[in-house]
Amino acid sequence: MNYALVTGAGRGIGRAIAQRLARDGYTVLINYRSNDTEARKTIDSICQDGGQAELLKFDVTDAAAVHEAITSWQAAHPENYISVLVNNAGIRKDNLLVFLEQEDVEQVIRTNLMSFFSVTREVLPYMVRKRYGRVVNIASLSGLKGLPGQTNYSASKGGLIAATKALAQEVARKKVTVNAVAPGFIQTEMLEGLDENMIKQVVPMGRAGEPEEVASLVSFLVSEQASYITGECININGGLSS
């Protein structure tokens, strides 16, 4: 049985990725921090579609909790391992730098960047030992070009992209690929508060993307067809960075 762990899979892009990977034949581990209702919606949608999924509740910003959750899961599944990891959990706390509270900086960095280290460090040894694995990190256009009012968010996603490129070189000979996906404006809760007309004006395609479009890209990156792609950050933003 092939297992895929998607962090922050209770809604939005994470939910779409979990649903797509389940359709691809993976048993998906639905990670979430606190919203039991939304996580249950994700797993119910997968099961209704004939897929398989399990809930794996832990806070990605708590390294001890991450270790406990994944170690316990592995002990309960000694014949299997997590062969696909999608580091999707992320938050925004936008403001101009001069108005950013220290906690808003630290919380964004902990959730968007430090969680990559905590989760990947627990899963990666099994991939290396089995000589097969896929890690996909959900970054952002903000991490590539920076956006005003998102200094903390841009820093966290930019760091994630750099970490992706470094780790890819460490594990390539073990047949483990590590890539990043950098979405632009995607129709999720993260767009709340943004002017829809502004998005239509600045995006060459004239619209925001759909979570399912990001999920399709992730699906390709974890497939055998993408076995020679590693250390890359692939944009999916409707031409915004062209």
User: Which residues form the catalytic set?
Assistant: 153
Contact 142, 186 (CB under 8 A): no
Return the closest-CA partner of residue 33 out of 150, 145, 115, 129: 115
Q: Enumerate residues 6+ apart whose C-beta is below 8 A from 1.
A: 27, 80
State the Cα–Cα distance between residues 118 and 122, nearest whole angstrom. 7
How many helices, marked H, and strands, marked E, lie in the chain?
Answer: 9, 7
Residue 132 sits at φ, ψ, to 5 deg, of -165, 135
Question: Alpha carbon 47 to chain centroid distance?
Answer: 21
